[in-house]
Amino acid sequence: MPASKTSEPLILLLATGTLLGLNFPLGKLAGTAGIPPAVWTLLISTGCALVIGVVLALKREVFPLMPPYLRFYAIGGTISYAVPNFLVYLTIPHLGSGYTSIMFTLSPIITTILATALNARRPNLLGVIGILIGFIGAMLIVLGKGRVGDANPLWIGIGFLIPLSLAIGNVYRTLDWPPNARPLPLAVGTNLASSLVVSAALLLANGELGLSSLADAPLLSLIQVAASAAMFAVFFRLQMAGGPVYLSQIGYVAAAVGLGSGTFLLGEHYDLLTWLGAVVIAVGVIVTTIAQRAPSIPSSAAGKS
């Protein structure tokens, strides 16, 4: 997957991160409406698989079912979507949408470490500097979030599993990307796999899917499916254009969107240090975008990213 030398990666990064950032306020509203986290996760995966599947059919693109694709669907859908999405909607009621979104800002650092260790597509020196700048911005946000000190350490610990799972998924998708695979079929397959995993978990735990709770928030459910389907439509294009480390920065963009929506839509409050952190994150994204146009550090797996 050759990296683009144009502005495409930046446009895809901003679009994907913005749409991802909408998950946090929508997830908080879903929790307020009494929708269980696993059911909300199931809604997203199933809705995305159906919506993008229709687009795939209209475009007459093939949905591959060969073993490499099935493996990619199963593993990628579980570690990239089912697990982190469930954790997100599980922690939002306890940490708030803004602070949960901050967990996504740790993903670039962990992704960089894993990509380097596993010889996936690694950033050059300027890219690493940009990642570190973004991380500093994330830490400023953490320091500026007044209610962090009151959060239960258990839920903070659970929240840290979110970026770990995301980072593993980012690197896995690069290393195991099926040859010549197109983005839309992968989006459908991974979301379908995630849907099956979450459905099985709900049936084992409760004996039912519990979809009736979605009737309490039909408009919210439709908005969530629309936002998530749009996000996944560009997500895999971003992975193709930018590789795992650049893609991981959607966490920075999503955190900024989560803070803004938490403030203006949900009445959450953050101090000046938090907003300064958001500005520093923006600088980090700009630096890594510039670095993206320069050659990456060679690696044995670079040709697959």
Query: DSSP readout, 21-80?
Result: HTHHHHHHHHHHTT--HHHHHHHHHHHHHHHHHHHHHHTT-----SHHHHHHHHHHHIII
pLDDT over 60 (residue 2) = no
**Alpha carbon 129 to its chain's center:** 22
Per-domain residue ranges of the chain: 8-304
Query: What is the structure's pLDDT at 120?
Result: 63
pLDDT over 90 (residue 49) = yes
pLDDT over 80 (residue 264) = no
Which residue did the predictor score with more confidence, 220 or 132? 220
Query: What is the structure's pLDDT at 297?
Result: 45
- Angle between helical axes of 83-95 and 37-58 (0-180°, round to 10): 140
pLDDT over 80 (residue 1) = no
pLDDT over 90 (residue 117) = no
pLDDT over 80 (residue 200) = yes
Highest mean pLDDT (candidates 35-39, 46-50, 178-182): 46-50
Length of the chain: 305
Highest mean pLDDT (candidates 26-30, 126-130, 256-260): 26-30
Query: What is the structure's pLDDT at 107?
Result: 83
Query: What is the structure's pLDDT at 301?
Result: 36
β-bridge partners, 297: 122
- Interatomic CA distance for residues 97 and 213, integer angstroms: 21
Q: What are the distances in angstroms from CA 129 to CA 126, 152, 184, 281? A: 5, 32, 32, 12
Highest mean pLDDT (candidates 63-67, 271-275, 286-290): 63-67
143-199 pLDDT, tens digit each: 765 454 456 778 888 888 998 999 999 999 989 999 889 999 999 999 999 999 999
β-bridge partners, 122: 297
Q: What is the mean pLDDT of the chain?
A: 82
Q: For residue 143, count other CB atoms closer than 10 A to its CB.
A: 14
Query: What is the structure's pLDDT at 48?
Result: 95
